[in-house]
Structure 1
Amino acid sequence: MVVTDAARARAIAEERLADLPHRWAHVCGVAATAERLVVGLGAMDADAVVAAAWLHDVGYAPSVRSTGFHPVDGAVFVRDEGFPAVVVSLVAYHTGAVFEARERGLLDALAEFTAPPSLLLDVLTCADLTTGPQGSPVRAEDRVTEILSRYPDGDPVHRAIERAAPSLLAAAARVSASAG
């Protein structure tokens, strides 16, 4: 029996995020959304996006956290777990990570990873932006507002999302338009 990267990613994410029930609920919702959005992609690309959806927030797990910047921490972990480079890059660059890396002075750490194909990154971004903190579907615009409301104006996450919002919303719109 062949175990897909997505199946292995789910098991790893569940193990690492078990003590973070809200994060786990969000990840489950993002993965379910990604599974719907990958229809039409080739099998390998679809599996990579769904695997990355399961693993996109694994960098929040205390057992994985190193720099405190979850995309890079997660990507290092995912790479060390032997996932394909595309899954690693999707985790590293998901949902505007480059904007937050700039805010945190971590562009060099992010640059350690190759940027993923833009279509696959758009699909993961759309899945993340259209899933609320509890795993339920939300409008991308409402998700951006929700994230901004959780962080004070001076916080690097707030500043990054504020700057990234137009490109994030555009990515979600492109995927939503092509999904019909």
Structure 2
Amino acid sequence: MTAAQVNQARVAAQTRLDVLPLRLAHVRGVATAAAALRGHFDVITGDCLVAAAWLHDIGHAPSVRMTGFHPVDGALFARREGFHELVVSLVAFHSGAPAEARERGISAFSAFSEPPQRVLDALTFCDLTTGPDGSTVAAHDRLQEVLQRYEPDDPVHRAVYCSRDELLATVERVHGWI
């Protein structure tokens, strides 16, 4: 993993998500937050964190969408594009994605290795403390925003509702070491 792959991830996100300007604003904010945390890791892991931040929502892009489940679609895209396997796994597992997969009845995670907890926590922290417009927000407020955006019977709503305590604990763990 090199800085070139971080740039490749940035270009891919900006190009693919340009049709979703709010999503792109969020991704830019998450990438900025990840760049601020990269120093807590070795160079390769830090670069993977920032690249994954750029790519974590790329599965929402119409040109990338295949299964309709954005973490898997994004991870498959990252793998096809030759990103480091840590980037692929971070995109696949970010922000409680396995809980949403269970709600959707998807078992696609066997195709991906689970990333180290500390770096996954860092990406989840960045995602949950960045609002839709890219601004910094409290994780509790971000989760409330997601719950309000989706109807109670939607798998996203159910997954966030069921895993809210775990997601907030992740944010607190990261607050403990930054």
TM score, norm. by length of structure 2: 0.97
Secondary structure (helix, strand or coil) at the match of 2:39 reads coil
Which residue of the partner structure matches residue 131 of structure 2? 132
Structure 2 gaps of 5+ residues are none
* Residue equivalent to 1:94: 94
Give the conservation status (yes or no) of the 8 Å contact 1:99–1:164: yes
Alpha-carbon distance between aligned partners in 2 of 1:63 and 1:168, rounded to the nearest angstrom: 29
Give yes or no for contact 1:151–1:157 (8 Å, CA) kept in 2: yes
Q: How far apart, in 2, do the equivalents of 1:4 and 1:175 lie?
A: 27
Q: Structure 1 CA distance, aligned partners of 2:166 and 2:10?
A: 28
1:124-153 CA distance string (max 9 Å, x none): 000000000000000011101110010111
Please report how far the alpha carbon of residue 78 of structure 1 lies from its aligned counterpart in structure 2 after TM superposition.
0.5
User: CA deviation digits over 1:19-50, x for unaligned, max 9?
Assistant: 11000000000000111122221111100000
Q: Are the aligned partners of 1:38 and 1:123 in contact in 2 as well (CA < 8 Å)? A: no
Structure 1: runs of 5+ lacking an equivalent: none
Match of residue 145 from structure 2: 146
Mapping for residues 8-157 of structure 1, pairs under 5 Å = 8-107=8-107, 109-157=108-156
- Kept after mapping to 2: 8 A contact 1:4/1:47: no
Separation in structure 1 between the aligned mates of residue 176 and residue 22 of structure 2, nearest angstrom: 29
Identity of aligned residues (%): 54
The whole-number CA distance in structure 2 between the counterparts of 1:6 and 1:175 is 22
Measured in 1, the distance between the counterparts of 2:38 and 2:3 equals 18
Q: Which runs of 4+ in 1 moved over 4 A?
A: none
Q: Quick one: distance in 1 between partners of 2:116 and 2:172?
A: 17
Question: Do structure 1's residue 159 and structure 2's residue 164 form an aligned pair?
Answer: no
Contact 2:92/2:112, CA 8 A, preserved across alignment: yes
TM-score by structure 1 length?
Answer: 0.96
Letter in 2 for 1:85: E
